[in-house]
Amino acid sequence: MCSTKLHLLNFLMWSMAYDMIMTCVGQPYLFSTTMAGIPLGFLHMIGIGTGAQIYFGMTIAAFCAISTVQLFENRFFVLFAEKTWWRHVRYPFKVFNITFGVAFYLPTYYAMPDQYLPRQQLFMVHPELIQFDSPENPIFVMALDFPWIPVYSQRVFTIIIIIEMIVFGTLLQVNMNWAVRKMIVSNKTLQLQRDFVKSIKLQILIPLLFVVLPSAWLAIMGAYNISDQGSGNLARNIISLHGVSSTVLMIYLQKPYRQYFKQIFNFK
């Protein structure tokens, strides 16, 4: 149970960090149909470079996904794989995920151009953006096109994480069904684990609804050159609700956190 709590806490901490970087700490303001924007958060105020902020933000988002994989992997290991070959492989597997999470955005970071010429080209194509540019907070151009190395490194990371989630989710479901047929675990234990897996699946819906779908809309806007700053801002506002929604859902779904929350506020 302690292992489960630690993995849940890890998931929540990365979710919180992602929301902090998207709001008060980083607060990126991106312009529709361009790969450019300005940071408005605390990190900019203390002099942290925009490129570094982008890298940290994408890395934190990656670790949100990795922490979700770890939730499923931990449940699978504790229930069904403690005495199998997986106990030797899981630690290199975790090291691989962590290393990939740190490194996958580095090609994009190092491919970010020097700003003078890209800014001039941006203002030629989108002169309306000049009003948002200032010496104190200049518009930062992440790219004028889509370099294939950064794009493919991000796609590969996304595909690997999705495959890992599907694999461990499927393994959990299949092994639970097998345990029912063989009566390897008690009905109470099985029901507890089913409830846990169900709650994790619901928690995955939060990133899907509040991050993936709005991000997909932003990607469609960029791909089809849809200039609608209002809907872009709405999508980013929805993304910023990810933290509070995932926290409320975790307190509601996970009994240990719900009990502790009630204890703090003296709820019966």
Cβ-based neighbour number of residue 128 at 10 Å: 10
- The CATH class that applies to domain 2-263 reads mainly alpha
| Closest of 161, 263, 236, 234 to residue 204, by C-alpha | 161
Size of the chain in residues = 268
Residues 254 and 8: beta-carbon distance below 8 Å: yes
User: Whole-model pTM?
Assistant: 0.81
Residues 35 and 108: beta-carbon distance below 8 Å: no
Q: What is the dihedral of CA 155, 156, 160, 161, to 10 degrees?
A: -40
pLDDT tens per residue across all 268 residues of the chain: 566 778 878 888 888 888 888 888 988 888 877 788 999 999 999 999 999 999 999 999 899 889 989 988 998 898 888 889 999 999 999 999 999 999 999 988 888 888 889 899 989 988 988 999 998 899 999 877 666 666 678 788 888 988 998 898 888 888 877 776 666 556 676 677 667 767 777 767 777 777 778 877 776 776 666 777 788 888 878 887 777 787 787 787 777 778 877 888 776 5
23 token code pair: 């709001």
| Closest of 106, 12, 112, 23 to residue 63, by C-alpha | 12
User: What string of DSSP letters covers the chain?
Assistant: -HHHHHHHHHHHHHHHHHHHHHTTSS-EEEPTTSSEEEE-SHHHHTT--HHHHHHHHHHHHHHHHHHHHHHHHHHHIIIIITTSTHHHHHHHHHHHHHHHHHHTTHHHHHHPPPSHHHHHHHHHH-GGGGGG--SSSPPEE--SS--HHHHHHHHHHHHHHHHHHHHHHHHHHHHHHHHHHHT-S-HHHHHHHHHHHHHHHHHHHHHIIIIIHHHHHHHHHHHTT---HHHHHHHHHHHHTHHHHHHHHHHHH-HHHHHHHHHHTT--
